[in-house]
Structure 1
Amino acid sequence: MTAGTDPRTVCEISWFSALCDDDYEFLGVPDPALRSSWAHCRDIVLAAETGGFDRILLPSGYKLGLDTIAFAGGVAPLLRRLRLLAAIRCGEVWPAQQARQLATLDQMTEGRLDINIISSDLPGETLESAPRYRRTLEYMHILRDLLNGRPVTADGEFYRFSVEPPRLQAHGGTAPLFYFGGLSDAARETAAAAADIYLMWPDTLDKVRDVVADMRARAARYGRTLRFGYRVHVIVRETEAAARAAASRLLSHLDAATGEAIRSRSLDAVTAGVLRQGELRQAADADGYVEDHLWTGIGRARSGCGAAIVGDPDQVLAKLRAYQDIGMEAFILSGYPHQAECDLFARHVLPRLEHAPLSRFGRRSFSL
């Protein structure tokens, strides 16, 4: 952050490491060199640190790729400044043990750990949305108390136990930030009650503005405030024509059946958020653009975050700033192949953004 910078213009810029078998040169065409492995995903993380990003998202998938917590523990000693955003699926690990794992990672990173909370079905289980989010809310409250060093006596619908916090607490005695997303009414209420950063998938500017207003009102009813994050892919090239050509090339080997198979293999392949990504594809023009520079083609071969900001450096920067203007403070970006696109964004756009990580100890951390 430079002297005289307006804090309202500062945002957190994160990249994504493809732990869940989600890296391609051509969408839908597996490439052994890009398959999720310790070496490949580690190299993406190191590229993000070298490129100057604030944080790296480590995603979670039961059937896909690498275990998030194990990977985070392995990569943490290799980093000097980059923060980890480790995804966890609520219920996969008993909450008291999950707190112990996270406290250990938090100490290893000296407080450079935060959590992306995912409320999805567990392996072998299907639970309707409303009870699944009630379970998630119980889990989040328990986890936060334990990481803050408080004992827990749980007497809820899903968890009933009494336990002291683990001796090893979160760094500084304060729980990591909870990033959380979801579009359904149950998801929004869970975020309003227990999240720190409400994380959105790609959408039109008008829709993002509406969701931000709704979430601020919901959080206020709980006596809370939320910060907002935006998860989106990017394709940036020196010219708009080159960026659009790169987007088209990415889909050039994809057939419909392969795309459907990829979209359906995730445990959260049918949620309100995923359905909304499908609606964006349906509303897009013949080239896949649903509004200026927002391209939905990636969603043809991906469950979840299914659109990209496409353009030259000025256009990509302007689009990010437009989202900032309606409340986004954190961006989690990715692109294909992930390491190559990380380098392109770091070269063409990142130096032009005032950015610093969100911090549990204050609105921003400018010490790194």
Structure 2
Amino acid sequence: MPVNFIGYIGFNNSSELHAGARRRSLDREYVQAALRVQEDGGFDRVLIPFGSNSPESQIVAAYGAALTTRLGFLVAHRPGFTQPTLAARQLATLDQLSQGRVAVHIITGGADEEMARDGDVGTTKAERYARSDEYLGILRQEWSATAPFDHDGRFYHVRQAFSSVQPRNLPVFFGGTSAEAIDVAGRHADVYATWGETLDATREIVARVRASAARHGRTIGFSLSLRPVIAETEDAAWKRAAEIVEQVRANREAAGLPTSGHRPPNDGSRRLLETASGLRRDKRLWTGVAQVTGAAGNSTGLVGTPEQVADALLDYYALGIENFLIRGFEPLADAERYGRDLIPLVRERVAALDTRSRVAAG
């Protein structure tokens, strides 16, 4: 099983550590540097995020594809705001122009306030997942249809839809831990994306998603998102992790945001917050930032030397995780460090593990 690394381009060189700093919402020089660092560092893809107040992900991915030759792009995309037939052609066009370097990450949306900013007011979470289900069905049909087709559903009505441009290879990533989300993932996703939880919790979600895919006669891959903190010694890495937590806490307090007593709006964050019941879980799963932020997005990490973090990643690899989305709190510097010190080490250990498995199998 190959191992793939997904980086991140968040539009400017900032993170939870830099709250209050005045930065351009779209820093072209940063985007160029982040593309270069992650392509040179051996990342397979970079995630281009989606938000109701952030730059448009597909346009940034198109810009990035024009500046790189090997790096792939995981384009976050929210269904419900673009007609699925149009989205299918947009993504297929991007796939063709990038020579097959695009994947799409479908973000259904769990926070009502976030959805309302783009005009989606009053829909329930269950309705949004039902809409995503129908949306993905049309998307895939547009990508594969050899003749015009009609569609009549709960959310979309299409007459004689057909696209002259179809993707070469465009994987669909999908996340969410509710029953509705896992059902949609099992029916449509090529890769199920989840956040960094304990090994036991990861084993459980992998089993649930595999069972969902099997009900639809499908198999599915997995992606895990983490924020590694690495240093030359374990003590130095944990010291850095503690400093990150205190800076994030101070930033939130200065902004009048809560640092405890959180009530996340979505199942995934609630589940991740349960993981954050202790500062350190398993060998080196670190939950400090998740505790302070209420598990707002990708907020757990692995802490230690590159060798120790590589070993921890292999524990997840053994559970069936073949994609690791890793990003740091100092975006450019950490991406460079991962490419130099962590990614080659993990690839080397996975290759050795696979070699031993082939020898054992005869």
Same fold (TM over 0.5): yes
| Paired amino acid for 2:321 | M
Q: Mapping of 1:196-211 within 5 angstroms?
A: 196-211=190-205
Q: 1:274 aligns with which of 269, 276, 296?
A: 269
Counting only pairs closer than 5 Å after superposition, residues 95-114 of structure 1 correspond to structure 2 as: 95-114=84-103
CA pair 261-46 structure 1, distance change in 2 beyond 3 A: farther
Aligned to 2:139: 143
- 1:37 Cα deviation (Å)? 2.2
Which of 157, 172, 178 is residue 172 of structure 2 equivalent to? 178
Question: Is the contact between residue 314 and residue 346 of structure 2 (CA under 8 Å) also seen in structure 1?
Answer: no
Q: Distance in 2 between matches of 1:109 and 1:169?
A: 13
Is the aligned partner of 1:16 residue 2:8? yes
Gaps of 5+ in 1: 1-7, 264-268, 356-368
Give how far 1:186 is off.
Answer: 0.5
Deviation of 1:204 after TM superposition, in Å, equals 0.4
Counterpart in 1 of 2:225? 231
Counterpart amino acid of 1:101? Q
1:193 counterpart (179, 187, 191): 187
Counterpart check, 1:312 vs 2:308: no
Report the 3-state secondary structure (helix = DSSP H, G, I; strand = E; otherwise coil) of the residue aligned with 2:322.
Answer: strand
Q: Secondary structure at the match of 1:252?
A: helix
Given residue 111 of structure 1, which amino acid in structure 2 is its aligned partner?
G
Cα distance between partner residues in 2 of 1:162 and 1:23:
45
For CA contacts below 8 A with separation 6 or more, give which structure has more relative contact order: 1
Secondary structure of the corresponding residue to residue 241 of structure 1:
helix
- Residue 83 of structure 1 corresponds to 72
Give the corresponding residue for 1:166: 163
Identity %: 31
Letter in 2 for 1:187: A
Paired residues of 2:13 and 2:330 also in contact (CA < 8 A): no
Change (3 A) 1:258 1:226: farther
Q: Secondary structure at the match of 1:349?
A: helix
Q: Hey, which of these two has a bigger chunk of helix by percent?
A: 2
The root-mean-square deviation of aligned C-alpha atoms, in Å, is 2.3
Q: Name the counterpart of 1:220.
A: 214
State the 1:345 CA deviation.
Answer: 1.0
After TM superposition, the runs of 4+ consecutive aligned structure 1 residues lying more than 6 A away are none
Shift of the alpha carbon at 1:320?
Answer: 0.5
2:351 corresponds in structure 1 to: none
Q: Which amino acid aligns with 1:146?
A: E
8 A contact 2:89–2:165 mirrored in 1:
yes
Deviations 1:215-267 (A, max 9, x none): 1112111111111111111111111111111112223333354587499xxxx
TM-aligned CA deviation for residue 327 of structure 1: 0.7
Task: Report the counterpart of residue 28 of structure 2 in structure 1.
Answer: 38
Residue of structure 1 in register with 2:360 after alignment: none
Letter in 2 for 1:89: R
3-state SS of 1:14 partner: strand
Match of 1:71 in 2: 60
Q: Is the 8 A contact 1:38 1:71 kept in 2?
A: no
Aligned pairs, number = 333
Q: Match for residue 5 of structure 1?
A: none
Distance 1:245 1:98, change over 3 A: same
